[in-house]
A and B are shown apart, each in its own frame.
Chain A
Amino acid sequence: MKKVLKFNVNGKDYEILISPNKTLLEVLREDLLLTGTKHGCDTGECGLCAVLIDGIPHLSCLTLAITCEGKNITTVEGIDKKEIEIIEKSFLEEGAVQCGFCTPSFVIMAKYLMDRKKKGLNHIDLKEELSGSLCRCTGYTKILKAFERIIK
């Protein structure tokens, strides 16, 4: 039986009718056509589908959309322009992007870590924080460097 889901995605309020068996990833990509969030495995093993739910990163392929009632979802498309500029500058200058398929998930993590830094949390173990996001192109070296700049 379909249910009404009221939530906010990238600053916009939505009210949609969905089946409870829909994951947040499906709703974002297929219903809202926000294709920035990628899918690589559907079972929570690769980290590509990361989005922010009320500011915390979650894997959207493991999240039932219906449990996002009343929540604020941020996808890569919804990150504030100024923040994207900071992230973009580091990623571009350090060369942290190759094929780009994992990039949105790292951008989400960058936004999350920038917010944590703003809240005054100083010790961020980058390798630990990023350990759930897989990349096949870069070998992670430049991604790490880009993050080191972002949270400095």
Chain B
Amino acid sequence: MEKIIGKKRKRVDAGYKIKGTAKYAEDFYAPNMLYMKFKRSPYAHALIEEIDYSEALKLKGVEAVITGKDLPVKYGILPVTQDETALAIDKVRYVGEPVVALCAETEEIAIKAIDLIKVKYKELDSVLSIEEAFEKENVRVHESEKFKGNAHRVIHLEFGDVESAFKECDYVREDIFFYSGNAHLPMEPHSVLAVPEENKLTIYVSHQAPYYLHQILSKALSIPQKNIRIVVPYVGGGFGGKLDPFPEIVCAGKLALITGKPVKCTLEREEVFYNHRGRHPALMWIKTGLKEGRIKAIHFKSFLDGGAYGSFGVACSYYQGALQTTTYKIPNYKVQVVRFYTNKPPCGPKRGHGTPQPRFALECHFDKIAEDLNLKPHEFRLKNLTDSNFVTINYLKITSSGLKECIEKVIKESEFEKKHGKLPYGEGIGFAIGAYLSGAALPIYWNEMPHSEVVIKADRSGIISVYSGHTEIGQGSDTMLSYIVAEVLGINPEDVKLILRDTDTVPPDLGSYSSRVTYMVGNAAFEAANKLKNVLIKTASELLEEKEDELIFENYKIKTKKGDKEIELVEVIRKAIEREGPLVFTGKYKPPPILGKYKGAGVGPSPAYSFTACVIQVKVDTDTGIVKPQKVWIAHDIGRCINRKNVEGQIEGSVYMGLCEALTEKTEYTKKGLLKDTGFLDYKTLTIKEMPDINVYLIETHDKGGPFGAKEVGQGPLLPVIPALCNAVYDAIGIRFDEIPITPDKVLDAIERNKKRIGPEKIIDFKFPPPIKVEVPENVKT
């Protein structure tokens, strides 16, 4: 019986955060520190004709100025898209793109100096939407030989034969949807402090993936990795928005090297929107064919507005079609995706990473299908669910699955059947499901090395130290790590000494993305802790003269199960050091090899998937059109809950973010490419007053591969929230919103004009190359 896993215990980092002693990147100060500011492009698309910073340099206190030519090496987070430079070279591609960086003795001087820089531009025509990017072929954001116009990535995959399958169907339906772009809006803005020391550049930065950043910085700054040290303190929220190698990190590093002094840069809130890397706007089309209520074929098309650079865009593009198959058995499947470049801040990974948009389309589309077939929404789902230990048509291996239990739980607890279709006008209830990875099975840079490495050390004073490179972005990873080690060794999590996220001292971890940390770092930590445990048990067994399997670790002691003999843990550690030498062990984790061999097979596979079902009840204010969520029921297959309050907190946070995406959040731009909403006041997110009651149910399926059976919880619960909300609005007022966010003005207008549906009317007529046809896995062939 576990003592710590699954029990209600406190987070190990929360105490510092409550007392205000937890350090974030902006809280670091260094003597003689300089402040860095950017001069940004006012144009969405323009050639840079001339940069004159002579007046800025003359200003007393300005130490150095750099432009694009000082950082010419192109880089990008994905190996397939190395299309960025820290500062624009030759042309600017979005309003807000950094063009010049300078550093000065004080922030005030830096701000004044920026105003003295004169940049001459030649404005070009720009493309500011998917349609424009497609239609205005001659307006090129990037010169790309591969695809016509502004297509950055084109995907066309076919599993099975959809056209033949559609012919055999007794029901076919197609729908079009639009999912608006939105931003991460972490409470902590991006911040970096670059400190040059003898032979080394130390970067204190708020970031989710120091390991990748380390490699990219080395490339961008043209200095070897051994001369760069990255330290990540606590991160005040990431949600995917702090994964990229941002301009301010590269420029602060460069300016620190040039001046020999520490250079600090914390972005203003508006600048965080220019870094962006947020949710791709997606225009989607989906066609489903059924025979006797069972899915025979799905054809899905998605057109993404990628912004000016690649970022994680290629991965997001593949994710558009990857995870639909994890919840439903789809015997014939066709996916077509185009990611376009546009003249806006680049889109990238935001919580869900390319899966919320297709999940929204799929779940709303299925809600309509259920209605057509006279089935309850969940009844249709239950007829078509995947199982545990199932290989999908696109070669994703589902291990444990509690999807059915999740569905049954929320349907029951919400009294869905009593309410659906039966509440008074203006009140409604909606349902949807989702699934997500517990970590991507392949790293960004393809190799066979472990994805997580953890080192554990037991020293002579009995201190257990754990070295790990993962990042704590609020999701509770420090706590998860401490709990696992503490559980194995019979100590309190608070006593696990954590040495973290410093590339000089800790082993590599790929970072906090794709919900990989619990599964992968957890497994690595479990392995390391058990290696230590095995040596200690061997020593204890000799000291106590008992068989190893009679011994347990409990409360800083090793004792016999009978309870008649015991020895202090620290004594055993010291004896073990005497006999074996230093007690330092490593743990590692690498996901099992992926099953698919086709191009694109690398996106989607995961060692395990989490599943979520959600029901939301809403009330629509018919005076204002404001949709007010009343109650949420959400069941999540967590595999195994490591820290109950933390897991619930992640689910509640996902519900909050999902409701925001469905109701209020949108990144929109003027005709000149200026971002319309640049701060917390204008970019609307829900406050404590709008949040409904949330009932969280945890389904534990004890995944065989997860640490103590655990799977992910950071992103999966977000996915069904948006479509459940939309389906609830339909139940309330009989109007289908096939585009989000569902803003009050759209609702009032639709009600007054008696509209049945609000959404896009057409997709774009893109000519795809022939599909890559993928052989269907054996067990799926029917």
Contact = CB atoms under 8 A, between A and B. Distances in A.
A and B touch in the complex (CB under 8 A): yes
Interface of A: 33, 35-43, 45-46, 48, 75-77, 84, 87-88, 91-95, 97-104, 107, 127-128, 130-131, 133-144
B688 A144 contact: yes
Contacts of B685: 134, 136
* Chain A interface helix/strand/loop/mixed: loop
Interface string B645-656: 110111011111
Interface in B176-193: 185-189
B694 interface: yes
Given A99-B186, A99-B188, A139-B653, A131 B17 contact: no
A125 to B, nearest CB: 10
A95 B646 contact: yes
B688 A100 contact: no
A141 B20 contact: no
B409 to A, nearest CB: 19
Contact of A97 (B11, B652, B681): B11
Given A97-B18, A99-B237, 14 more contacts: A43-B269, A43-B679, A88-B15, A92-B15, A97-B11, A98-B474, A100-B13, A103-B17, A107-B20, A135-B688, A136-B657, A138-B656, A139-B653, A142-B649
Interface string B320-361: 000000000000000000000000000000000000000000
Interface in B187-228: 187-189
B187 A99 contact: yes
A46 to B, nearest CB: 5
Give the interface residue-count category, chain B.
35 or more
A99 B474 contact: yes
A134 to B, nearest CB: 6
Contact of B694 (A91, A92, A139): A139
29 contacts: A40-B187, A41-B269, A42-B268, A75-B20, A87-B18, A88-B19, A92-B18, A95-B648, A97-B14, A98-B475, A98-B646, A98-B649, A98-B653, A99-B186, A100-B13, A100-B18, A101-B188, A102-B187, A104-B18, A131-B687, A134-B680, A136-B653, A137-B187, A138-B649, A139-B653, A139-B694, A140-B656, A140-B691, A141-B649
A48 B234 CA distance: 16
B234 A99 contact: yes
A114 B646 CA distance: 25
A88 B13 CA distance: 12
A32 to B, nearest CB: 12
B373 interface: no
Contact of A100 (B269, B474, B646): B474
B421 interface: no
B704 interface: no
A92 B21 contact: no
Q: Which of B11, B234, B239, B653 has the most CB of A within 10 A?
A: B653
Contacts of A100: 13-14, 16-18, 22, 234, 236, 474
Given A95-B645, A100-B17, A137 B237 contact: yes
Interface string B661-694: 0000000000000000001110001011101001
A88 to B, nearest CB: 5
B19 A99 contact: no
Q: Which of B8, B10, B21, B473: most chain A Cβ within 10 A?
A: B10
A127 B688 CA distance: 6
A76 B17 CA distance: 10
B18 A42 contact: no
B23 interface: yes
Interface of B: 8, 10-11, 13-24, 26-27, 29, 185-189, 234-239, 268-269, 473-476, 645-646, 648-650, 652-657, 679-681, 685, 687-689, 691, 694
B11 A95 contact: yes
B18 A103 contact: yes
A82 B648 CA distance: 28
Contacts of A99: 186-188, 234-238, 473-474
A143 B17 CA distance: 14
A77 B656 CA distance: 30
User: By CB atoms of chain A within 10 A, which of B8, B18, B234 has the most?
Assistant: B18
Nearest to A143: B688
Nearest to B13: A100
Contacts of B694: 139, 141
A101 B20 contact: no
A39 B189 CA distance: 8
Contacts of B657: 136, 139
A58 to B, nearest CB: 17
B185 A136 contact: yes
A45 B681 contact: yes
Q: Tell which of A88, A137, A143 has the most Cβ of chain B within 10 Å.
A: A137
A118 B550 CA distance: 55
B19 A139 contact: no
A91 B679 contact: no
Contacts of A36: 19-21
A94 B691 contact: no
A69 B234 CA distance: 34
Top-9 shortest CB links A-B: A36-B20, A99-B474, A95-B645, A100-B17, A101-B236, A139-B656, A76-B20, A45-B680, A98-B474
Nearest to A88: B18
Nearest to A106: B18
Contacts of B234: 99-100
